[in-house]
């Protein structure tokens, strides 16, 4: 296999996703990315052009994911690496004070969306006999804090779902729940406010994280890992 990869990356309009895609493209890899922002996806397409492919997709909408996945397979081919990064965090509140609609949207994006992307792209990876799926977890997928119970629930679900998937995959494929560590993102600032500023920026994080993710293989499947630094 060539050293260059075909990478699918959700939630790539900002934060960790944007930082990763910039590192991947700079290293010569081909990226198919999505987010809910049409303007940001058009901007990325204009900036990077072919063979990269960016499209506005709400991963919580299965019909949209199905259509997008077909376009990805047609445009860049079967991915070598899928990174399910798209996620939202709840407005800080006690669990019983979180509105039902807000909780449902978080579950639909953070959990259902991940399964949807996997369901539509994994069969092609199985057919080619190789590939790595990285589902972004969190420290809050392995511990808890008050006022972010819905987010904790979603990331604990990602840990369990990914580990179970790893048990199901044929030889040669891998599924890894990966925590980025504590990074100064908009989501962290929503939870911690200005206190998030003491941590690394997404761009600083991605310098180490991108090559680390690219080195993940079948031997790492099912392990709860954290990016270095």
Q: 6-226 has which fold?
A: Rossmann fold (3.40.50)
| 53 included as an active-site residue | no
- Kindly give the residue spans of alpha helices, DSSP state H, lying in 57-201: 62-75, 100-107, 113-128, 149-168, 186-192
Q: What percent of the chain shows pLDDT beyond 90?
A: 89
Domain residue spans in the chain?
6-226
Decide if pLDDT at 185 tops 60: no
pLDDT recorded at residue 218: 96
Decide if pLDDT at 199 tops 70: no
As a whole number of angstroms, the distance between CA 110 and CA 218 comes to 24
The neighbouring-strand residues paired with 54 are 33
User: Average of pLDDT values for 10-19?
Assistant: 95
Q: Rounded to 5 degrees, what angle do the CA atoms 108, 180, 210 make?
A: 105
Q: 197 pLDDT band (50/70/90 cuts)?
A: low
DSSP-derived secondary structure letter, 171 = T
Q: How far is CA 75 from CA 7, 30, 126, in A?
A: 12, 10, 19
Task: Render pLDDT for 79-131 as a digit per residue (tens, 0 to 9).
Answer: 999 999 999 999 999 999 999 999 999 999 999 999 999 999 999 999 999 99
Which helix (H) or strand (E) segment is 40 a member of? helix 38-48
For 103-137, give the DSSP string. HHHHHIIIIIHHHHHHHHHHHHHHHHT-EEEEEE-
Strands 53-56 and 173-179: unpaired
pLDDT recorded at residue 182: 78
Task: Render pLDDT for 84-93 as a digit per residue (tens, 0 to 9).
Answer: 999 999 999 9
Task: Render pLDDT for 28-47 as a digit per residue (tens, 0 to 9).
Answer: 999 999 999 999 999 999 99
**Which residue in the list 24, 53, 54, 151 is annotated as catalytic?**
151
Strand 173-179's sheet: what is its strand order?
A: 53-56, 30-35, 6-10, 81-84, 131-136, 173-179, 225-226
Q: How far is CA 187 from CA 46, 148, 182, 215, in A?
A: 26, 11, 11, 27
């Amino acid at each position: 296999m060539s050293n260059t990869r075909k990478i699918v990356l959700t939630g790539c309009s900002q934060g960790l996703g944007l930082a990763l895609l910039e590192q991947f493209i700079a290293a010569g890899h081909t990226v198919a990315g999505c987010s809910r922002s049409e303007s940001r996806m058009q901007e990325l397409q204009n900036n990077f052009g072919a063979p990269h492919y960016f499209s506005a997709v709400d991963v919580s909408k299965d019909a949209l994911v199905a259509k997008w996945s077909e376009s990805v397979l047609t445009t860049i081919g079967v991915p070598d690496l899928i990174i399910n990064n798209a996620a939202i965090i709840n407005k800080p509140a006690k669990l019983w004070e979180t509105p039902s609609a807000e909780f449902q949207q978080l579950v639909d994006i953070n959990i259902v969306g991940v399964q949807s992307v996997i369901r539509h792209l994994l069969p092609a990876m199985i057919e080619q006999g190789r590939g790595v799926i990285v589902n972004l977890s969190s420290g809050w997928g392995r511990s808890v804090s008050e006022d972010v119970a819905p987010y904790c629930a979603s990331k604990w679900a990602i840990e369990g779902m990914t580990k179970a998937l790893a048990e199901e995959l044929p030889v040669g494929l891998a599924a890894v729940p990966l925590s980025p560590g504590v990074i100064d993102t908009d989501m962290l600032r929503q939870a911690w406010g200005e206190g998030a500023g003491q941590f690394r920026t997404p761009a600083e994080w991605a310098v180490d994280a991108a090559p680390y993710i690219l080195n993940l293989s079948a031997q790492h499947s099912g392990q709860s890992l954290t990016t270095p630094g």
